[in-house]
Structure 1
Amino acid sequence: MSRAVVYEKFGGPEVLELREVPEPHAGPGEVRVRVTAAGLNPMDWRLAGSAEAAARFGVTLPAGFGYDFAGVVDEAGPGAKHAVGDRVHGGALGRAVADFVVARADDQLFPTPDGVSDEVASTLPVAGSSAAAALAAVGLRAGDTVLIGGAAGGVGIFAVQLAKLAGATVIATAAEATFPFLRKLGAEPVAYGPGLADRVRNVTAAVDLFGTETAEAALALGVPPERIATIAAGPHPPGGVRATGGADAEPGALARIAEAVAAGRLTVPIAAVFPVERIRDAVELQATGHVHGKVVVTL
């Protein structure tokens, strides 16, 4: 037997349970990963909290929990692309927070570079790919001044740093309490809320990681819609701006992010680490929306 976090009804953190489940094994073309860390994302608790959201992703009850994970391959089936002993990280919808993940051929699984801990690697797949996709969607280039909305969150910490690495100036919207944190990442922070368009100037591109406020401000400042992207405004954001997400990331984007972390060019602030026995506490913290960085669960 092994352990996995599961839920049998939709709701808040209280529906999450750590249970013993049959130990899975790798089949042809598959590998089994002994999970050591799982990074949490907003979509995890949104799927657990909403039957409608779960249905959009094909999640049915009873369900497992989480997407991002990192660990070590401990079983490899015939024809598998990874070998026993390989350190890996990746995504498995509704299966990540468990002792073992069997990665199928269509699952995203990447080598973890030397010098990158499993805790850090477990934060990369969703947030890293979402940030890369958003910046690619606006054609970010050196010399741009990019307005990034929701910059202190899990995706924001990647978007800010990737934009800086690309040679852009970053103006980051956030709560004032996060300003010192964002300055350390190289951003120029500005308070979100009404009147945002009056508080910024010379914006040439924008990425909205939380709703539509930043996108609307950028439109008001005359930024062309094709140079504005959202990841959380649904498929039809305002003003013809571009909707995108991690699935749109360019091939190799996540590998480049992991390499940048290994080389020290990109840092991943981890706000809190919880043992899996405290999964409910971890989700409660992550769901507040006021976490500066990533929340990780260890197994």
Structure 2
Amino acid sequence: MPNGVPDELASFTPCVVAMVYKGLKRAGLTYGETVVVTGASGGVGIHAVQLARALGARVIAITRSPDKARFISQFADEVITEQRFSKVVKDLTNNVGADVVIEAVGTPTLEESLRSLRSGGRVIIIGNVNPDEIYQLRLGYLIMKDIIMIGNVRSNRSDVVETFKLLSRGLVKPIIAATYSLDRFGDALEFMRNNSRIGKILIKP
């Protein structure tokens, strides 16, 4: 672990930041492209926003809460609170659409995420890992828009090493919603249900 990476950020690098980094690498993100991040206030989303921007992307963050939007705005180029956000994304990109969407919510926002993409765009699906949930996907829409869908989970050792090098430059800050001792693990689980939180919940021994 390099100097300059706080312990809090290092603790969730393998399963959050490096996982997102792997997805963006697989999507072939290039400097200056536009990235949309759904669920931008969540533990994955808020760090995905920062990481995409650190990699040189223009970042449009999606959240349904105006209060959370004010916090997220310090990390994103644009923040959208509308439930049907695809039209706003199109407006912000001169009716072209985003290059990449990091789908950190899942089925509730996937339709709008696909509509937000430009022709030939890529969507990295991170949110919702329930294998039993069914989504009605319009294959013709994907084909006609030439969209690439990337299912993305976990990271490997090389992803973690590369991400640590990026994090050592201080371009991503750990956003901790709350910290609990190990003997208050149950309270931490209860707090996870709190929709007002932003960022990760940290357990410290």
TM score, norm. by length of structure 2: 0.78
The alignment's C-alpha RMSD in Å is 2.5
Structure with bigger strand share is: 1
Per-residue Cα deviation, 1:172-206 (whole angstroms, up to 9, x for no partner)? 1012211122111134110152x222222222221
1:252 equivalenced with 2:158 (yes/no): yes
Residue aligned with 1:223, SS: strand
Alpha-carbon distance change, 126 to 289 in structure 1, aligned in 2, over 3 angstroms: farther
Alpha-carbon shift at residue 149 of structure 1 (Å) = 0.6
Alpha-carbon shift at residue 298 of structure 1 (Å) = 0.8
1:137/1:227 contact within 8 Å kept: no
Residue of 19, 25, 49 corresponding to 1:136: 25
Alignment identity in percent?
Answer: 28
Counterpart of 2:75 in structure 1 is 185
Per-residue Cα deviation, 1:232-267 (whole angstroms, up to 9, x for no partner)? 2456863555242333x4652222322333331221
Alpha-carbon shift at residue 227 of structure 1 (Å) = 0.8
Residue of 235, 238, 242 corresponding to 2:149: 242
Counterpart of 1:207 in structure 2 is 102
Counterpart of 2:57 in structure 1 is 168
Alpha-carbon distance change, 140 to 218 in structure 1, aligned in 2, over 3 angstroms: same
1:150 equivalenced with 2:1 (yes/no): no
Map 1:275-286; keep pairs closer than 5 Å: 275-286=181-192
Unaligned runs of 5+ in 2: 143-147
Counterpart of 2:126 in structure 1 is 231
1:135/1:159 contact within 8 Å kept: no
Report the Cα distance in structure 1 between the residues aligned to 2:23 and 2:36, rounded to whole angstroms.
12
Unaligned runs of 5+ in 1: 1-111
Alpha-carbon distance change, 181 to 227 in structure 1, aligned in 2, over 3 angstroms: same
- Find the structure with the greater CA-based Rg: 1
Counterpart of 1:217 in structure 2 is 112
Letter in 2 for 1:232: G
Structure with bigger helix share is: 2
Report the Cα distance in structure 2 between the residues aligned to 1:144 and 1:281, rounded to whole angstroms.
40
Higher RCO (C-alpha 8 Å, min separation 6): 2
Report the Cα distance in structure 2 between the residues aligned to 1:296 and 1:222, rounded to whole angstroms.
34
Q: Number of matched residues?
A: 186
Report the Cα distance in structure 1 between the residues aligned to 2:40 and 2:81, rounded to whole angstroms.
11
Residue aligned with 1:268, SS: coil
2:47/2:175 contact within 8 Å kept: no
1:113 equivalenced with 2:8 (yes/no): no
Report the Cα distance in structure 1 between the residues aligned to 2:116 and 2:41, rounded to whole angstroms.
23
